[in-house]
A and B are shown apart, each in its own frame.
Chain A
Amino acid sequence: MIKFLCFILTIILSGCTTVENTKILKIGTDATYPPFETVDVTTSKLVGFDIDLMTEICKRLGKEPEFIVVPFDGIISGLKQKKYDAVISAMTITDERKKEVSFSKPYYLAGQSIAVRKADKNIYGIEELKGKKIGVQLGTTGEMQAKSIKNTKVISYDNISAAFIDLENERIDAVINDMATTRAIITKKSDAFKIVGDVFTKEYYGIAVRKKDGELLAMINSALTELEKSGYLKNLKTK
């Protein structure tokens, strides 16, 4: 009996010990966010700006990227729990997040924008959002922005496409979200939505790592600098 228990225990424990493989870099991302990270419908592979950038960075670090898809609201927890070693997910560098993780230097300048239904004639900018129902993605900077507007009802969705579905079905009046993603969604459904006003915030995206992983952060930063100098980053943005 004891032998049997030992046998079971060995099997269980052997599953727990992770084989230290420095060749692979595990990266967390929420692949529901065009044009930064999405799952390609035809190939079921991850595609997008962030994916290309991280793959290029890994190439320069001599590592193999392994992307792990997770919901955005739990993405920082997962990083801290070592489920992956870095996060690239169109994540804005904020003071709150900086308390939990370290960010690389910014690799993208983004801003929040307002999207409404094409037929809408009442909302022209952030002023008209008072008293309206606004859709956002849970745990994003768009959510924080929306909650700071007075008298609004903010509905947080698991992913931003769900917010756009509800906007089309007239359950909400507007969606506050990153300009680039909103634009990418709208180009696919230009008959249903439009963007009103200009971006009303300035936000920088960064790659996040655990606070203790200073070495990895330094490596990512120097790779980013190289990519900036070589013009790779600029090319990627226009793509």
Chain B
Amino acid sequence: MMSFWVMLDDSINTDELLAGAGAAVLAAFFAELVTYQAATRFRMRIGWLVPAFSLPGQVVRDMVIVYHALWRRVAHGVQPPSAFLELPARFGDDRPEGLTRRTLLVGGTSLAPNTFVLGIDRDRDVMVVHRLVAEEKES
């Protein structure tokens, strides 16, 4: 928090640093308050971030898919084959690790423009997604 303040303010004067420290304390307090009220905690495993390295390539690939669908819609009037799909995804448990894993999974899957996650079904261990261009056969 403090580093964000310094980055925004671009000053290391004492009064600015004190103001930044106060703002950081307030922000941390409210963050803790919200997590306490929501009864949620996050706990990260570094290995979960490894799939993030493939995200830029996925974004580029999905951009091509999405804009190709737009071109077909504008030039030929062909509606994209959108669909809701269920992809296998383990729900896990309600411990902090499980919550963090699901959060990262939802965020990482929804980053690329062709796929958005609606949720992960606890009972059936599937992730419901919507795809602008859904391929005929999904593995």
The answer to whether A and B belong to the same complex is: no
